[in-house]
Amino acid sequence: MRDSFHFPHYRIAGGRMQVFETAADYSMKDFHGRTDTGGWAYTKWDYRHLVHGDETKVHFDVQFTRYRADDSVLGQFKSLWIVTNQDGKWGVMARSSYAA
């Protein structure tokens, strides 16, 4: 996941803003702590809709669903993702999510 982000990276969820200054600051342990509850096995995109965009930045309205191994749903989560082009690399700079 870190390879798809730009840093600093911003995440708004659960009523607070988190700032990850570097890739090392984005702990995969913390990510798995949020997602490993309830038997999370995989995630699928429900949609990714372009809201605004130009050659340097795009805003996406997205929704993804987390599933258990038996294909039952753990939850659906809507987010706004801001993706930017920095030095020729597209990456996620900020996310505002309803995921915990």
| Beta carbons within 10 angstroms of residue 97's beta carbon | 16
β-partners of residue 19 are 10
Dist. CA 21–CA 50, nearest whole Å: 26
Centroid of chain to Cα 16: 15
- Quote the pLDDT of residue 27: 76
At residue 33, the pLDDT reads 61
Helix (H) or strand (E) run with residue 28 in it: helix 28-35
In the CATH scheme, what is the code of domain 2-97? 3.10.450.50
- Helix ranges (H only) for the chain are 28-35
Per-residue pLDDT of the chain (100 residues; tens, 9 = 90+): 888 999 999 999 989 999 999 999 887 666 666 556 678 899 999 999 999 999 999 999 999 999 999 999 998 999 999 999 999 999 999 999 987 6
Q: What is the pLDDT of residue 40?
A: 87
